[in-house]
Structure 1
């Protein structure tokens, strides 16, 4: 499957791109915002495209043309204000959905946030972020695209365990960024994850078994 990773320069995005590059079943194109990021990818023999989530839907459509799936892992980051969260995590995400539909890319995987669908559980200090994720998820669910929404718990940079819990089994906890990446890739062609949204944390089941339980 030809996959475009939006937010390829982020911590999870870098894991996803590296894993897809090694995967015989998929090819990857990394969407980044800066020329120097593209140059770094080129040095590592990874195909890239430069596009800005604050740009037009048409420009984003050009960036993903030829893909068979989109993975959206982009975010404004913790050092920006609510304005950038709105422009990137919400409007940027929705524009990529519109772009995907425009060029006929039907498979779309969104990385959201744990319990983004449950307002009563949101961290008050991060409320604008959760609002953005909540409404981006809802737009994806009604987009007509073949979506999967992955809602990871607290992100940590520990080594991958290859063990996860999903859905109702995913009690509030943490997950390694690498395991988020492994799970995202595993959802690409797993029909159990089609048109599904689920919480994700480290647990006791293999990724394959956990996803097949959805």
Structure 2
């Protein structure tokens, strides 16, 4: 498969690229900063330098031609303000959906967040509220398309070594999950056409990832 990952320098994106490239897929990582090209190459992927906050859908679509799937794993990052939560976590995700439609790419995986079905707690600050609202708006925009989308909502991400086991389902309760295991779940979802139209939460657990995906979309 040819898979384009938006946000190709993010830690989940790099881990996913490494997994996919190792099994023989052609992987393209879209990065904003030219300094990140070498990191993408080290993961076994090729890089496209494109600022998703400035590009238009036609420009992005030109880099998606021939792809079998796209994955949105970008994020404004913990040091960014409320405005960039909207321009990256919402607008760039929506831009990728528009570009995928124009390029004829049907499959779209969105890395989202847990806790989106309730009103954000204002006590956690305006940036946190803006982040959750941007993620929810991105989900809503994607659901309104006719793409074959899957939304994955990880719990709190950690850099611990992956275990290969998770808890996965429409609602699993808040918890932690490693970036390694999140990337492995994304890879498994890419192989599972039946996951299209699913919104799934993932945290650490004791079910092997292949079995967890199969059960979640059954």
What TM-score comes out, normalization by structure 1 length? 0.93
- Cα shift at 1:117: 3.0
Change (3 A) 1:20 1:122: farther
**Aligned match for 1:167, one of 150, 166, 169:** 169
Q: Provide structure 1 residue ranges, at least 5 long, that are not aligned to the other structure.
A: none
Q: Please, what is the CA RMSD of the aligned residues?
A: 1.8
Determine the structure 2 residue equivalent to 1:3: 3
Determine the structure 2 residue equivalent to 1:71: 71
CA contact (8 A) 2:15 2:43 kept: no
CA contact (8 A) 1:170 1:203 kept: no
CA contact (8 A) 1:159 1:176 kept: yes
User: What is the distance in 2 between the residues matched to 1:77 and 1:49?
Assistant: 20
Change (3 A) 1:123 1:185: farther
Determine the structure 2 residue equivalent to 1:48: 47
User: What is the distance in 2 between the residues matched to 1:113 and 1:122?
Assistant: 17
- Cα shift at 1:43: 5.9
Q: Secondary structure at the match of 1:213?
A: helix
CA contact (8 A) 1:153 1:174 kept: yes
User: What is the distance in 2 between the residues matched to 1:197 and 1:100?
Assistant: 19
User: What is the distance in 2 between the residues matched to 1:152 and 1:123?
Assistant: 22
CA contact (8 A) 1:51 1:59 kept: no
How many residues in Structure 1 have an aligned counterpart in Structure 2? Answer: 213
User: What is the distance in 2 between the residues matched to 1:179 and 1:110?
Assistant: 16
Deviations 1:119-153 (Å, cap 9, x if unpaired)?
Answer: 36798331110000001001111111000000000
Deviates more, 1:9-18 or 1:119-128: 119-128
Determine the structure 2 residue equivalent to 1:101: 101
User: What is the distance in 1 between the residues matched to 2:174 and 2:44?
Assistant: 38
1:191 and 2:193 are equivalent in the alignment: yes
